[in-house]
Structure formats: C-alpha cells, structure tokens
Amino acid sequence: MGQKQAKEARRGGDDACIVALDKMWEKKEVSDWERDKQRKERYMAAIEVDKAALEVQKASLELEKKRLSNEEKKVKADLLKEEKEIMLADTSSLDPMQLQWLDIMKKNILARHMAN
C-alpha cells in the first residue's frame, strides 16, 4: 500500500466527508425549515391578536356611538322641556324686566324652531 492510500484509509476517504457534509446540510435545512415555520406561526398568531383587538375596538366604538346618541336625545328632550316651560309660563305675576326676558326667550325659541 502506498503512502497516499494509507493516508486516505486513515481519513476514511472523501466519500465519508461528503456523506458527513450532506448529513450536516440536511440537518441545517430541516432546522431552517422549522425555524421558518415557527416564525410564520408567530406571525399568524400576531395577526390573529391584532384582528381580535380591532374587533374589540370596533365594538367599543359602537357602544360609544350609541352612548353619545342616547346622550344627545336626552339633551334634546331636556331642552324641549325647558322651552315648553318658557313658552307656557304664567306671566301674571312677573315684573316688566322678567316679562322682557321671557319675550326675548320666546322669540329665540321660535326663531330656532323656524330655522329647523
């Protein structure tokens, strides 16, 4: 056996190195694939969390919209009640200054209702 053949026999030959490199490369590819899969799963989970947060925010906005609508209706009802009291006020016991204020308020109420 020559010197070159003896060295090759000690190393195991080039085929053993190629097989070892191929196995390492396969392991790396599997590892990369699993890492990419986990990354995609985390990304999809984050998207789902964002969607859920948007749904909660949308529901919250709808509730706030309804609350504001109810509050607006209450304010309009209170204003209508006050206007009715002014329009139907008993003027028999009022002094001239109070009568003047009442007339101004009645004119303002009528003007506002005529504009609408």
- Please state, in angstroms and rounded to a whole number, the distance separating the CA atoms of residues 83 and 81: 5
pLDDT in tens, 6-50: 766 666 556 777 888 899 999 999 999 999 999 999 999 999 999
Domain ranges of the chain: 11-89
Angle between helix 13-87 and 3-11 (nearest 10): 30
Note the helical H segments in the chain. 3-11, 13-87, 96-115
pTM of the model: 0.55
Q: pLDDT tens, 87-99?
A: 999 999 999 999 9
Question: How many helices (H) and strands (E) would you count in the chain?
Answer: 3, 0
